[in-house]
Structure 1
Amino acid sequence: MVQLTDLLPLEKWVELENEIHARSGLESNVFNTDGIRITDNKVWVNRLCPAIKATDKGQAFICAVAHMNLANQAREEGRPVIEECDAGLMKIVVPISVDGQFIGAIGACGLLPAGGEVDNFLINRITEIDEETVSELCEDLAVIETNSAEEVAQFIWEKIEAIVAET
């Protein structure tokens, strides 16, 4: 089976992650089929996500679940998916497929959808982070408009199609 590193070396995947972040303000990571990040590149785009991911339950029941659900949807539909994670933040997942075989995905997340709100109660229930602390961590959350998210998804999709076409 083709691996992500057969398409690009890790440093080129990092460059793409950084390019997506610079263009969108979203945190961006490349994931293998098991939902594991293939690079150690980390750019936090808010104060809430690192607090959620610092708890085992937050990582397992908010972040990982959102990624796996959206990656499966993107794999099945063969196109980018834009949804909110359970915390209420925007998440974009773009499938990476070679000859019809799903080999991974790019996820971009961490901004608040326009008109959306963070689910303080759910975050508290899962992570045990105090709801007031959650509110404080959300005070400076950047917002992303739906059309901007769609443009980012299209940009990533076109990048992936070009990378796959070169193999």
Structure 2
Amino acid sequence: MIEFNRSFHLTEVIEIEFLQEIQDRFSEATGQAAIVVDYQGKTLTRHSNYTRFCNELRKDPEMCRICEKSDAHGGIEAVRLQHPYIYRCHMGLVEVIVPIMVNGQYLGGIMTGQVLVEEEALEKLEQIIKPKINIEDNKELSEMYSLVKRVSLQKVQASAMLLFTIANYIAEKGAVNIVKQQLNEKSLKLMEEMKVRADLENLLKETELKLLHSQINPHFIFNTLNTISHQALLEGATKTQEIICVFAELLRSTLRNMGKIFTLREELNYIRNYLFIKEKHLRDRLTIIMDIDEACLNNEIPVFTLQPLVENALIHGIEPKEEGGTLTIKAKQENSFIRLSVIDTGVGMPKDTVDELIRLKSQYYKHIKPKGVGLSNVISRLQHHYGSKFKWNIKSAPDKGTEITLFLPKRQTKVVD
């Protein structure tokens, strides 16, 4: 059995159009007037089969006020009884309030009736408010009153119970469907969170494995690079020897800092070495601009936060462009965050790739890894590291370039004199 731990509005559990359909069909079948109101007494549907007498009476503001007062009292009684309440209005017509309930909560009601019953039965019904006028003094009203439909009290009771049973069954089913939908959404969210956790655990295992592989005999790698560097120097290839030395420093930094926390200063030093190599390759096709607020340099960030973005900007943005382009790296303080931007004037990204990356902001799509874009891995690591405090943006247009901005919480490293 489903337990309800929330409140509902009548329009949540039953569509207004469906309520109108039930009301109209009921009114046609019984000849009784009907209208649906919410828990505040506000009408939700159009009147069905209202009598000429009631319509005419309500044109008078004072009479309309008394009618509404009578209706309100009937509604209170129906809520108290949690059952259809049959009574006489101030003009003596029989009316019924059919409450619509879900788990004891009053959502609204169906007001029906505007009929007359046999005289002996009429006397048994409570008249909430006494009449303020004598209709016999008003010939037109008196004639309209004489046209009011007459039915047996038993029929009024039976039709009220039928309406009560149908309306409350539909409302209960609607509420159950809402709760089931919410439970399904929670289950889906839980499954997504479990998937994200599993992906992160797999990523951690893969990273650890890569770390182990990278540490296999690093002395052999550096000895080999040293040999190549000396050979280049002997052959007079000083530029080649310089590139090899910078590459060795890059590799040494990579092996030494896998999985650690960098300062922004260290990350930028690493990037400068990387860009030194790329400048040799791209020659005059690459312009580099570094706009760095020195107040940000001691801020701690996960290792390789910017490097993959810089690499993407060069390989996928600037290199494919015949005339090359400009790479700009910015770092600014903004309140409790540092704002890091990597901007290129390269070929830009297709709209579908940008849309797929933007979907990473959603809890339900954080496990998605767009193919060929290192940004997704950076975003996943930063989301895992900073949680909801991490924010990011991407702007890209074909032939215009790409701008990626990261907002990281400020975490300063203590500087030792």
Q: Same fold (TM over 0.5)?
A: yes
Of 124, 129, 141 in structure 1, the residue corresponding to residue 133 of structure 2 is 124
Given that residues 14 and 171 in structure 2 are in contact (C-alpha distance below 8 angstroms), is that contact kept between their aligned partners in structure 1? Answer: no
In the alignment, the residues of structure 1 paired with residue 22 and residue 166 of structure 2 have an alpha-carbon distance, to the nearest angstrom, of 9
Match status 1:54 vs 2:59: yes
Q: Which amino acid aligns with 1:99?
A: N
Q: Does 1:93 align with 2:104?
A: no
Q: 1:129 to 1:56 in 2, by over 3 A?
A: farther
Matches within 5 A, 1:99-110: 99-110=103-114
Is 44-53 or 25-34 further displaced after alignment?
A: 44-53
Q: What are the residue-to-residue correspondences of 1:15-164 with 2, within 5 Å?
A: 15-39=21-45, 41-61=46-66, 63-115=67-119, 116=122, 122=131, 124=133, 130-164=137-171
Determine if contact 2:115/2:151 at 8 Å carries over to the other structure: yes
Aligned equivalents of 2:50, 2:68: Cα separation in 1: 18
Which of the pair is proportionally richer in helix? 2
Unaligned runs of 5+ in 1: none
TM-score (norm 1): 0.86
CA distance 1:65–1:162, shift in 2 (3 Å): same
Q: Distance in 2 between matches of 1:76 and 1:33?
A: 13
Q: 1:47-96: per-residue Cα shift (whole Å, max 9, x none)?
A: 211111112111111x2112111111110111111111111111011111
**Aligned residue pairs: how many?**
160
SS of aligned partner of 2:91: coil
- Kindly report the root-mean-square deviation, in angstroms, between the aligned alpha carbons of the 2 structures: 2.2
Structure 2: tracts of 5 or more residues without a match: 1-6, 124-129, 175-417
Larger of the two Rg values belongs to structure: 2
Mapped to 1, the partners of 2:60 and 2:52 lie a distance apart of: 14
Superposed displacement of residue 123, structure 1: 5.2
Amino acid in the other structure paired with 2:54: C
Measure the CA separation in 1 of the matches of 2:51 and 2:131: 18
Identity of aligned residues (%): 20
Give, as a single letter, the amino acid of the residue that structure 2 aligns with 1:87. M
Q: TM-score, normalised by structure 2?
A: 0.36
> Which deviations, in whole Å up to 9, do the C-alpha atoms of 1:96-127 show, x marking residues without a partner?
1112111111110211122259xxx93537xx
